[in-house]
Amino acid sequence: MPTVKDFITENGCIPSPIFQSIFVAFIEILRSNYADENTFNEQLYSLGLKIGEAVYFDLLSYLPKFNAKHIKEFLRSIYAGITGNLNPLVKEDENKFLIVEDNCPICKNMKAITSKGLKICNFIPGIIDQIMEMSGIKTKSWELNCMGVGDSQCIFEIKIIK
């Protein structure tokens, strides 16, 4: 009989199909409890804040030393630590950054949910905001587009709050 250990990869990760099955079940439960799209999105964001706090110290060993002049690289490192995508496209525009994901590891294989107002990966901005705040800089992030609802890319906006 297989044990949990049999499902963990050599580098200690849960394989994508298993993660996605768990994630889809979680989304369905959350959706049944929060029919309102805004509340659903806010709950996912709040979950991300809690995850960010929990993983901050684990990610510190992977993150470059924080430097306010290199926020773009710091964001790229945080996103890579969350998703495993080592080279996300990060666009910079004054006090705003966009992370553009063409191959989202979270929702890429999910069946598209018909409601365009849902943001399936909206926990990622919560994680980013929490890690940034714990690193000394206040941000407000949100998922603008989501492949999980049929968009061609997942796009996350991160605004620096001064």
Q: Does 5 fall in a domain?
A: no
- Position 8 in a domain: no
Give 84's pLDDT tier (boundaries 50, 70, 90): confident
pLDDT of 23 higher than 90 = no
pLDDT at residue number 87 = 77
Share the mean pLDDT of the chain. 80
In a domain, 7, yes or no: no
C-alpha distance across the termini of the chain, in Å: 55
How many domains is the chain partitioned into structurally? 1
How far apart, in whole angstroms, are the C-alpha atoms of residue 29 and residue 15? 22
Indicate the pairing of strand 139-145 with strand 96-101. unpaired
CATH number of the domain at 155, please. 3.30.1380.20
Among 128, 112, 129, 131, residue whose Cα is nearest residue 120: 112
- Is residue 9 situated within a structural domain? no
In a domain, 1, yes or no: no
Q: Quote the domain boundaries for residue 64.
A: 16-160
pLDDT of 16 reads: 64
Structure confidence at residue 27 (pLDDT):
82
**Residue 135, domain member (yes or no):** yes
CB 71 within 8 A of CB 162: no
pLDDT at position 67 over 50: yes
Type of residue numbered 144: L
- Per-residue confidence (pLDDT) for residue 4, from 0 to 100: 47
The model's pLDDT over 123-161, given as tens digits with 9 standing for 90+, comes to 999 999 998 898 888 999 999 998 888 888 999 999 999
- Predicted TM-score (pTM) of the model is 0.82
Q: Which two tokens stand for residue 131?
A: 């890690």
